[in-house]
Structure 1
Amino acid sequence: MEVHPANEFYLQTREIATGNVVGCAGALEVVPVSQVRLPPAPVLDVHAYLADVPYTTSKEARRAVTSSQNGIRGDAGVDISDHGLTLDDEFPDEFEEGLVQEIYRRLTRTSVSDIPGPEPESLVLGNLRQFFQCQAGEIDFKWQELYGDVVRFKGPFGEDRLLVSDPKALQHIYQTSRYDFAKQAERREVSRLISGRGVLWAHGHDHQRQRKIMNPAFGPRETKAFAPLFSDVASKLGGKWKDFISQSPNQESVIDMTKWIGPATLDAMGIAAFDYEFGTLDNSDNELGNVFANMCVEVFGSLSAKDILRQALAGYLPKAIFRYIGDNAPNHRLEQLRKASAVATKVAKELIDGKVEALEVGKGKSDVMSLLVQANVSEDESTRMSEEEMIAQMRTFLLAGYETTATSLCWALLEIARHQDVQTKLRHEIHRKEREIRERGDRGLSASDFDTMPYLTAVIKESLRFHPASPSTYRETMKEDVLPLLKPITTLSGKVITELPVPKGLKVVTSINGYNRHKDVFGSDSHVYDPERWLVPGRIEKTAYVGVYGNLLSFAGGVR
């Protein structure tokens, strides 16, 4: 190995724990060139050696570096032709300046480890116990208040992760980056267990193709046509409550809403999405309704330390092994998932068979199930869907769509019960609309009627904001990227940054609760349930367009 005879000083970085030679806080070091040894190489890969070769530059660029880093300087005219590159007067200043800027950027950019965050509780679990054993959103709000909108916390064995609620960063993750912030591998496997290789599991091209096939079923005209169907189910549910109360002593009773809303939601979804009546409101022994009852609570409820560790370690397993465990391990939560999936698959196959028969006799409709069956026989590969994918989409609607809708309705009813003033205003608006309907001779509410009920819309938005069905999503960077920030971050080393470089493979938790209660977006009273915020201009700041409805993140956003 030959000591390079050039520069008096040389920029060098210490290798950090990950093995990446990148700049991080406190990692820059100035060493005498006599200690620097360069390996001989026929060609210098600029990107590979960028942080390792001595540099030269124009006077202007050199001054810029010297002024930024005291004691670091370079001498022009260094010949490193033995390594395939010579930086001398033949190179334009722009090239040399660009090279130095890239070196400087790599050596001084902020590392995720320099972002403020809580101390880990343990080496094995990091902060995961705090995150998974609290009420939904509790730790998000606490860390957001203490550390800001981007929080570095520890996963298993000291692994750095990010909790993000910054609106601009979330916009980049969900909208701008498209598929570059993918679902974490272990979360995708859970999606496969829940619903198969459907739209929740798919990524990239497969996800685009599946979305394209199903989109026609959810256009404005199609969704408005669901309104009378939903009203019929709601009327049926209300009638059962009236009967229940009339048969009770003193004409009053306590009703467990969670036991009624689930079956009603499943019936409404069956009619709207599949043109099929499940009849779960009338049949308490319905297999589908029973297996879904409290399924999410039992499977995804509060985790023990062992559950958290198993879940954390799953991310390090090869996919084939993780898949085998998910399909075969004798674990109560996994067994519940497998049971629900088996019932959903059985029902899905029965529905598909019925739709195939209807299509063969020319009675195909435009519901989701009919569109999927038509896609199964499409000659165009871009619009074709396999039988496995069809069943997966059915399971997605049955397992994911049903549970989230029922949960959101229950939270909305709870807040209406808690806030009598909200209930009174909402009741008055509904009564006014009912009088209008009777006066024009109609029987029930239409989609256009809902559009002219601003307080009802405000209550729905506020309920979705305050209690999102999913408190967070779990992503992983597919490549190096840079997160733009709405609010600057002061790092642990005292540096103020307006964007954060993130490495490939970083696990990121997007805090839906944190964004939906963000004070810069929804006001200083964001932790107060108040539908009026949606009716008063200026109370909600659109700092960044993130979500698909009301700029909320409750339904996530973007292509994924």
Structure 2
Amino acid sequence: MTSLLLTAFAVVTGYIGLRFLRGLFTPRPQFEQLPGPESVSWVTGNIGKLFQCDAWDYVRHLSEAYGQTCLIHNLFGAKGLLTYDPKAMHAIYIKDQDIWQRSNMSIEAGMALFGPGLLSTQGEIHRRQRKMLNPVFSAKYMREITPFFYQIVHKVRIGQHPSRSQRTLALTHTFSKLESAMATRVRAGQEELDVVGWMGRAALELVGQGALGHSFDPLVEDTKDEFTEHVKSFFPSIADIMYGFAFLTLFKDVRGPSWLRRLVVRLWPDPAVQRVRRQVEMIYAFAQRLVAEKKNAVERGDEALLHRIGEGKDVMSVLLRENMAASEEDRLPEEELVAQIATFIVAGVDTTSNALARALDILSVRPEAQERLRHEVLEAREQYGQEIPYNELSSLPYLDAVCRETMRLHPSVTFTQRAAKQDTVLPLSVPVNGIDHIAVPKGVEVLTNIAACNTNKALWGDDAYEWNPDRWLRPLPTAVEEARIPGIYANSFSFGGGGYSCIGFKFSQLEMKVVLSSLIASFRFERSSKGFVWNLAGVAFPTAGFGDKDPEMFLKVTCVNLA
């Protein structure tokens, strides 16, 4: 073990030394002449500070002090760019997206964690994966799975919906739903609930039944499940081992056999690494079992198994059928299928559950907005019934505005990163020191500041930092429309843009609207006596204090009909 650590130290030291010597004798590129903050550390540059869990003020300071594009210092003395310039973003994510690829570190991290899934592939492999997956995230699919989402959120008893099949009714009877479980706690006098915990359990079950055709959690009682806990703490845990992914990038050409890599990770003397290893092993093993089970069912024509959960309309069942019917060149190998499932679990749960928690956090201190939303939902229920259909739910103006504004002001992901695979030129809509086109050498990494893009006062106005859903109920500022931010959702970059945008954003929005409308109709949310903070991370999450690894957000919850 000592020799392994000494070897790693020697490689890193040599790498840093070479970069330093090269910097002494190489003319400064144009992009390095841009203004920017001083480096905090020669090893971690500004990146270390940007990704600290309490870095919200620092992130905002950089956007306000240095404008839309500035120089930053990356790991080991490398220099890069931080931008939220719409024209630069359009070049990176749309016009020149084949030039701007995912960074080596993000690819190595994704491959090390779950293999060749959507978050770790690029180029032709990524396009082939999206071609296969796009149809199962269509609007038609969203309409079909909306009833199953309601079944998870509501407690529905046999006999209330005679038009449904007995299989569906049995499903709704078997699962004690989120709303019922929370109501039981509230009526028992346990009014301070860990809302992010309940949202995590609900999101995992929604992903399970809607995407995987599998039930993770019956939501019967207030218990902690090991698998759910591993999924919920995955992104908080990742923040502690970023240095490991930096090492992977340095060693990417000398990886060695997979058994050796696994052995090195298992013996690595860092509790944070071991925590992530256990999480990854459990999630990946589940994905392997599920793919094997579903694949065998499809090959055998076992419709009973495929229809057991979600009546065979889940993403996994549809994907496997489509994959088997696809041509040889379009078909996804099993390794990629397993990686997609593991990716769906970790990426689909935290982002949506924490966005829901953020919305309830905001509404808990804005009772007038909460009451306005409740009134809209209850009115819709009078017209359409307790389960508002997909099209009508999507069209509720204030619910849509609340979701849009929450995601604009508080995107789940604060940054995305790209690297130039060849020398290129980056255009700017706002010149820096008179420069409106920056020459960028091959290998330079650009960090996109999503939070700053979504709160740019030059576009959104002086109230850009304020949560104001009404901005979506009137025409947006002309500057926002003309900026043409290259995102796929609500004139923002919250779900990314281009060929690497979030493929499941419609799924996420449906989850958010079904859960939020159902809970607001039944419960009132207020701040509790237990404080919490939001941590900046790969996916922002709440805890009792900065740096804690266990997500937690207690709110006071009361039943509306009992208040």
TM-score of Structure 1 vs Structure 2, range by shorter chain: 0.7 to 0.9
Q: Which residue of 2 aligns with 1:17?
A: 23
> Quick check: 120-129 or 450-459, which moved more?
120-129
Report how many residues are paired.
442
Q: How does 1:92-107 map to 2 (within 5 A)?
A: none
Q: Which residue of 1 aligns with 2:442?
A: 504
Alignment match, 2:110: 191
Instruction: Give the one of 520, 532, 536 matched to 2:458.
Output: 520
Which residue is 2:291 aligned to?
352
Pair 1:210 & 2:129 matched: yes
1:161 maps to: 80
State the Cα distance separating 1:222 from its structure 2 match: 0.4
| Structure 1 residue aligned with 2:181 | 240
**Which structure's CA Rg is the greater one?**
1
2:232 and 2:242 map into 1 onto residues whose CA distance is 24
Please report how far the alpha carbon of residue 178 of structure 1 lies from its aligned counterpart in structure 2 after TM superposition.
1.9
The answer to whether residue 68 in structure 2 is matched with residue 128 in structure 1 is no
The counterpart of 2:275, out of the listed 305, 326, 336, is 336
Name the residue aligned to 2:69.
150
Question: What is the aligned partner in structure 2 of residue 316 from structure 1?
Answer: 250
Mean CA deviation greater in 121-130 or 141-150: 121-130
State how far apart, in whole Å, the 1-side matches of 2:265 and 2:317 are. 30
Q: How far off its partner does 1:467 sit?
A: 1.4
Counterpart residue number, 1:277: 215
- Partner residue of 2:378? 431
RMSD: 2.5
Q: Deviations over 1:29-52 (max 9, x none)?
A: xxxxxxxxxxxxxxxxxxxxxxxx
Whether the 8 Å CA contact 2:208–2:215 is kept in 1: the answer is yes
Aligned counterparts of 1:457 and 1:379: Cα–Cα separation in 2? 37
Q: Are 1:470 and 2:416 an aligned pair?
A: no
Q: Secondary structure at the match of 2:23?
A: coil
CA contact (8 A) 2:81 2:445 kept: yes
Deviations 1:421-474 (A, max 9, x none): 21121111112111212xxxx452110221331100000011111111111112
Q: Is the Cα–Cα contact under 8 Å of residues 194 and 395 in structure 1 kept in the other structure?
A: no
Q: Structure 2 residue aligned with 1:546, among 486, 494, 506?
A: 486
Specify the code of the residue in structure 2 equivalent to 1:339. R
Structure 2: segments with no counterpart, 5+ residues: 1-20, 155-176, 307-311, 501-563
Three-state SS of the structure 1 residue aligned to 2:192 is coil
Matches within 5 A, 1:388-399: 388-399=335-346
Q: In structure 2, do the counterparts of structure 1 residues 228 and 134 end up closer, same or farther at CA, with 3 Å as the change threshold?
A: same
Identity %: 29
- What's the offset of the Cα at 1:136? 5.1
| Secondary structure at 1:548 match in 2 | coil
CA distance in 1, matches of 2:491, 2:476: 14
SS of corresponding position for 1:278: coil
| CA distance in structure 2 between the aligned counterparts of 1:480 and 1:213, rounded to whole angstroms | 32
Note the alpha carbon deviations across 1:368-388, whole angstroms, 9 max, x for none: 212443355456223211111
**Equivalent in the alignment of 1:140:** 59
Match of 1:225, SS state, is: helix
- Amino acid in structure 2 at the alignment position of 1:403: D
Distance 1:185 1:166 in 2: 23
CA contact (8 A) 2:136 2:319 kept: no
Cα gap change, 1:376 to 1:449, in 2 (>3 Å): closer
Deviation at 1:356, TM superposition (A): 2.6
Are residues 353 and 473 of structure 1, via their aligned partners in 2, closer, same or farther at CA, if it must alter by over 3 Å? same
Partner residue of 1:449? 392
CA shift, 1:119, in A, is 1.4
Check if 1:172 corresponds to 2:91: yes
Inter-partner Cα distance in structure 2 for 1:505 and 1:287: 41
Q: Distance in 1 between matches of 2:449 and 2:249?
A: 20
C-alpha separation between the residues in 2 aligned to 1:270 and 1:308? 29
Q: Tell me, what secondary structure is at the counterpart of 1:484?
A: strand
State yes or no: 1:419 paired with 2:362. no
Q: Is the 8 A contact 1:214 1:371 kept in 2?
A: no
The AA in structure 2 aligned to 1:429 is: E
Structure 2: distance between partners of 1:410 and 1:18: 49
Could you tell me which residue of structure 2 aligns to residue 71 of structure 1? none
**Kept in 2: contact 1:118–1:153 (CA 8 A):** yes
Q: Is the 8 A contact 2:108 2:248 kept in 1?
A: no
User: CA shift at 1:308, angstroms?
Assistant: 6.2
> What is the aligned partner in structure 2 of residue 558 from structure 1?
498
2:477 is the counterpart of 1:534:
no
Q: Could you say if the C-alpha distance between residues 544 and 137 of structure 1 is closer, same or farther in structure 2, counting changes exceeding 3 Å?
A: farther
CA distance in 2, matches of 1:555, 1:485: 22
Higher RCO (CA < 8 A, seq sep 6+): 2
Distance 1:237 1:479 in 2: 50
Q: Distance in 2 between matches of 1:178 and 1:477?
A: 9
Structure 1: which amino acid aligns with 2:411? P
Number of the residue aligned with 2:201: 263
2:172 corresponds to which residue? none
Compute the TM-score of the two structures, normalised by the length of structure 1.
Answer: 0.74
Partner of 1:10: none
Letter in 2 for 1:421: E
> In structure 2, what is the equivalent of residue 115 of structure 1?
34
Instruction: Pick the structure with more helix per residue.
Output: 2
Q: What is the CA-CA distance between 1:193 and the residue it aligns to?
A: 3.2
SS of equivalent residue, structure 1 residue 152: strand
| Structure 1 counterpart SS, 2:493 | coil
Answering whether residue 314 of structure 2 is matched by residue 367 of structure 1, we say yes
Could you list the runs of 5+ residues in structure 1 that have no partner in the other structure? 1-14, 25-109, 491-495
Counterpart Cα distance in 1 of 2:245 and 2:419: 16
* One-letter amino acid of the structure 1 residue matched with residue 228 of structure 2: G
CA deviation map 1:309-365 (0-9, x unaligned): 655555433344498388443433332332222222222233223323432226364
- What CA distance in whole angstroms lies between the structure 2 residues aligned with 1:201 and 1:16? 30
Query: Aligned to 2:108, what secondary structure does the other structure show?
Result: helix
User: What amino acid is the match of 2:426?
Assistant: L
